[in-house]
Structure 1
Amino acid sequence: MCWAAPPALSAALEPDPLIDHPAWQRLKADVSELQRLQVKDGSVADPRQHDRARELVTAIDLAVSALVPALPHDEEYLTAVGKDISRWADTGFQVPDFLDSLVAFRPETQRTDGLVHLVVFPMYTQNGSTDRRIEAVLLRVRWPDLVADLEATQFSNGMFVPVTFLDFTPGYDTNSAVLFPETVAVREVPTFTWGAIFADREAARFRRVVRAAADTTRLALPPDAARLLDDQHLAEETFVLWDLVHDRTHMRGDLPFDPFMIKQRMPYFLYSLEELRCDLTAFRAAVRLEADGVPHARFVQYAILFDRIFRFPVTGTRVRNYDGLGGQLLFAWLHQRHVLHWTDSRLTIDWPKVPDAVIALAEQIEQLYWRSIDRPKTAHWLAAYALVSGTLTAHPASAWAVRDLPLDGPPKGLTDAVLDDEFPLSMFYEALSRKIADVVASTSGITA
C-alpha cells in the first residue's frame, strides 16, 4: 500500500504569487548586481562604484517598500531594512551593519504553516561562501500540525523555524540549507532568538542522492522507504521533525559546557561526535514515537540512516569533514555488528536489527559525554579519539593513532596534530563517491 500510494498533493508545494511580483523581480536583480560590487567584508571598497551602488540601494529600498502590503506581519522588520540599507549608503558603504533589522525580525513568534517572509540581510551563507553579501530570500514557514503538536508537548524548541525556499539571490544557489542570525553583519552581537533550516533543500538533495546510492549499491528499499524517496512533501515533513529534535539536543543531556564549542578550536572529530549525537538522539526519539503510533517516526529513522551513510560521507571535501566522518562511523558501526552487509557487490540491511544497533552507538557517545564532565579537556579529546578509532581506521601517518602527541603543551598542539583527513574514506566509499559524484554535485541549489 505504501509503495502504491501516490505522492501527497499539498497547497504548500504550489508557487506563491509573490515570486512573480514585479517588485520582487526588481529586488532580486538589483541585489544580485549590488553583490558584484561588494568585497569580502560586505563593503563597497571602490569609490568609483559608489554612485551605482547608491542607485541600487535606492531601488532596493523602493522594492522592499512595495512588498510590505503583501507581508504586513513583516512591516516593522522591512521598515528597519530600509533604514539600515540607506544608512549603509549614507555612511560610505563601509562594512554593513543590519543590527536594527536583525533584532526586528522575529520569525519564531510566527510559526504558522505557509506564512511567507521576505529576508534581506548582508550575510554569508553556510556551505556557500564566507564572503558577506547582501542577500534577498523569499521563504515560507513549514509548520505541520504534527510537528506543532510534538513541539508543544514533547520537544520544546522555541527558536526552531523550519522553512522552504520560494526564491533567492545567488548566495543560496549553493548547498546552504540554513538561515542563521549569527551570519548577518552587525555592529554588536545580539541575543539570538531563532534559527531557520530549509527543509525543502534538505529533502530534495536527500531524495536525489539516496536514490542514486541505493540504485548503485542495489539496496532493496522497504516500501515505506521507497515512498519517502518519491514524495517531496512527505520528505519535507520528515526533515522538519528530525531537525526539531536534533536542534534542541545540542544543549540537552549530560554534557560539558557548550558541547559544540563553537568559539573553541578543537579536533574536528569532536564536532563529528556532537552532530552524530544529536542525530542519534533524534533516531532514538523516532523509535519511541513509532511505538506511540506517530506516522512520520519511521520515516525519520530512514532519513537519518540514509542521509548519514549515503550522502554525508561523499559530500564536500576531505578537509576536516566532520559530517562525513559521522556518516562513516555509523556505516562501519553497523557493518561490524553484522547489521549492514556488503556482499557480492550488493548492500543489504537487516532492518529489524537497525534500531538496537543505532541506539547502542548513541549510548556509547552519551557515555563519553557523561564521563567528560569529570575529565580534563585533553583526556576527553583522547577518549573521543579512542571511540572513533575503535571503529574506523585512522590514516597511516596519524600522530594521534600512535599517541605521538605534545601532551605536555597547550591543547592547540593536539589540534594541529590532527590530519585534514584523519580518517580517510574506506574502499567502499571511495568507489561509491566515484559512481555518484555527479549526482551529489547536481544537488547544489536544489529545492525540489
Structure 2
Amino acid sequence: MRRNLEAWCAPVASSSATAPEDADEPGAVAHPAWTRLKDAVGRLQPLQAKDGSVPEEADHAAAGELVAEVRSAVTELRPLFPHDDAYLAALDADLARWVDDGLGVPDFLDSLVAFQPQRDRVDGLQHLVVFPMYTQNGSPDRHLEAVLVEVVWPDFVADLEAGSYSNAMFVPIRFVDFTAGYDTNSAVLFPETVAMRSLPTFTWGAIFADREAARFRRVVRAAAGTTRLALPPDAARLLADQRLAEETFVMWDLIHDRTHMRGDLPFDPFMIKQRMPYFLYALEELRCDLVAFREAVALEDTVPHARLVQYAVVFDRIFRFAITGSRVKNYDGLGGQLLFAWLHQHHVLHWTDNRLSIDWAALPDVVLALGREIEDLYWRSIDRPKIAHWLAAYALVSSTLTPHPASTWAKGPDALPIDGPLKSLTDAVLPDEFPLSMFYEALTRRIGDVVASTAGITGRTDTTSGSEQAADG
C-alpha cells in the first residue's frame, strides 16, 4: 500500500508541467497561411490518383493553381521554421518541378533528403511537413499531405538516449494540426511513405506519441471499466494524465524502435519487404515490446517512468492491440492475444466471477519469461533452415493460442507444401489463423465502438481526465 500511495503522490520528472490540451495554441497553427495551406491541400487531394499524379488533363489548371497556393503559404510560414529552411526551400523547388513536369507521379526526393528532424530533438520544437505520401494505417494513397508537428523530448528521455539506449533516428512527435491523411489511425511519419524516384538512406523515423497515448488512455479506461479491473494508483494516474502517458510512450518507443536490429536475430531480419507468415511479424513486434518491458523492469529504481512503461506495454497489448483492426493477418492483434493467453495460462491474469484481476507482483517475471521464449527461438534460428524456423515459430504461438480448426499449419509438416516455394507456405496461413477467444469476442462487442472512436484522436482532442478510474491501494 505504501508503494502505491507514493507512486500516486510522487512527482514524475517532465519537460513541462503543462498538459498539451491546456497549452497556448502555437503560432503556426493560428497563422492564416496555415489555414490556406490546409484548404489548398484538401481541394487538391480529390484531383489526385492513388499514385499522387493528377491524371485528368482538365484538372491540370486547377491543380496548378492549388499547388501555387501551397507554395505561397509555405513561403509565408517558412520564417517560423528556421531550423527547416533548407527543407522548405527544397520543398518549394519540388512543388514547382511537379507542376512544370505535368503533374505526373510526384518526386519529392530532394526535399525528403533535406528534411532532417533527428538533428533537432528539442522538446516543443515545431516542424511544418508537406509531402505526397501515404499514411500507414491511414490513407493508402500518395496524396499531398500537410502536417504541423512538435517534438516530444523530455529530459529523462534525452538522458536515456545519450546513455545505454542510443537511437539517433528516433523522433517522437505530437500533432498540432493535419490534413485528411492523418484524420485516421496513422500514428507514424516515415520517410519511406513519400513519393520519390529512388530510395535514399533513411536517417529518421517519427512516431506520434500523443496519438498513441490518447488512444491508449481511452481504450484502456473502457476496457478496465468493462472488465472491472482494479488498477494500482500509479496505473490509474497514467490513464488520467495525457502528458505523463505521452512521455511514457516515448520511453517505450525509444527502446522498442532500437531493438529491431539488436539481439540474436534470425539470419534474415524481419523486414516489411519480405513476405513471410504474419505470425513471424507478430513475434518480432512482441519481442521488441517485451525487450522494452525488460529494460523498464531494470530501470524501475532509477527512472520514474519505467514502471509506467510496464503497464503501458501490457495494457496496450492485451486490450487495444488485440481487438484493433481487421482479422486479416493482424500481427499486432496476434501479439496482444498471445500475451493475454500467456498471462492467463501462467496464473497471473484471472477471469473469475466476470471480473478481471492481475497478480501485479508476479506479473513482471511471467512477462519476462515470454520474452525469453521468443529470444530463445531467435537464438536457435541461426542453426535452422528457414522452413524449420518458421515451423518452430508456429509451434511457439500455437502452444499458447488455439489455431483455427481449419488450419493446415496446425496439422503439422506432413500437411504443408514444404517441398514447394516458400510462398506456398505463406499462402497456407489462414487470414485469421488464430481467431479471437470468447473473452475477446465479448470484449469487442462491449468496447469496439470505443476503439473505433480513436481514429483521428490527438492529445488535444482527448481532454477527459480519467480520474474517475477505480484504483486499489
- Give the TM-score range, shorter chain: over 0.9
**SS in structure 1 at match of 2:206:** strand
State how 1:43-442 maps to structure 2 within 5 Å: 43-291=53-301, 293-403=302-412, 404-442=415-453
| 8 Å Cα contact 1:251/1:258 also seen in 2 | no
Shift, 1:195, TM fit: 0.1
Uncovered stretches (5+) of structure 1, i.e. residues with no partner? none
Distance 2:343 2:193 in 1: 36
Q: Give the alignment partner of residue 29 of structure 1, picking from 17, 25, 39.
A: 39
| 8 Å Cα contact 1:124/1:133 also seen in 2 | yes
**SS in structure 2 at match of 1:186:** coil
Distance 2:268 2:421 in 1: 20
Shift, 1:261, TM fit: 2.7
**SS in structure 1 at match of 2:411:** coil
**SS in structure 2 at match of 1:162:** strand
Task: State the one-letter code of the partner of 1:269.
Answer: F
**SS in structure 1 at match of 2:168:** coil
Deviations 1:311-347 (A, max 9, x none): 0011000000000000000000000000000000000
Uncovered stretches (5+) of structure 2, i.e. residues with no partner? 460-473
Shift, 1:127, TM fit: 0.2
| 8 Å Cα contact 2:20/2:242 also seen in 1 | no
Task: State the one-letter code of the partner of 2:18.
Answer: S
| 8 Å Cα contact 1:126/1:178 also seen in 2 | yes
CA RMSD of aligned residues (A): 1.3
Shift, 1:258, TM fit: 4.7
Task: State the one-letter code of the partner of 2:286.
Answer: L
Q: State which drifts further: 122-131 or 274-283.
A: 122-131
Distance 1:102 1:129 in 2: 19
Deviations 1:20-66 (A, max 9, x none): 10011100110111111101000000110000000001110010010
Task: State the one-letter code of the partner of 1:256.
Answer: P
Distance 1:17 1:61 in 2: 19
Task: State the one-letter code of the partner of 2:298.
Answer: R
Distance 2:445 2:96 in 1: 49
Shift, 1:12, TM fit: 5.3
| 8 Å Cα contact 1:276/1:326 also seen in 2 | yes
Distance 1:131 1:257 in 2: 33
Deviations 1:111-140 (A, max 9, x none): 111100000000000001211100000000
**SS in structure 1 at match of 2:142:** strand
| 8 Å Cα contact 1:290/1:298 also seen in 2 | yes
Task: State the one-letter code of the partner of 1:314.
Answer: I
**SS in structure 2 at match of 1:166:** strand
**SS in structure 2 at match of 1:374:** coil
| 8 Å Cα contact 1:12/1:114 also seen in 2 | no
Distance 2:365 2:324 in 1: 27
Deviations 1:187-233 (A, max 9, x none): 00000000000000000000000000000000000000000000000
Distance 1:173 1:21 in 2: 21
Pick closer, same or farther for the CA change 1:102–1:257 going to 2, 3 Å.
farther
| 8 Å Cα contact 1:38/1:45 also seen in 2 | yes
| 8 Å Cα contact 1:88/1:94 also seen in 2 | yes
Task: State the one-letter code of the partner of 1:389.
Answer: S
| 8 Å Cα contact 1:313/1:324 also seen in 2 | yes
> Which structure has more RCO (C-alpha within 8 Å, separation ≥ 6)?
2
Shift, 1:100, TM fit: 0.2
Q: Give the alignment partner of residue 18 of structure 2, picking from 7, 10, 16.
A: 10
Task: State the one-letter code of the partner of 1:133.
Answer: H
2:467 corresponding residue in structure 1: none
Distance 1:225 1:416 in 2: 41
TM, length-normalised to structure 2: 0.93
Aligned-pair identity (%) = 72
Distance 1:409 1:124 in 2: 35
Deviations 1:395-416 (A, max 9, x none): 0000000021001111111000
| 8 Å Cα contact 1:259/1:274 also seen in 2 | no
- Matched positions, count: 447
**SS in structure 1 at match of 2:299:** helix
Deviations 1:359-414 (A, max 9, x none): 00000000000011111110000000000000000000000000210011111110
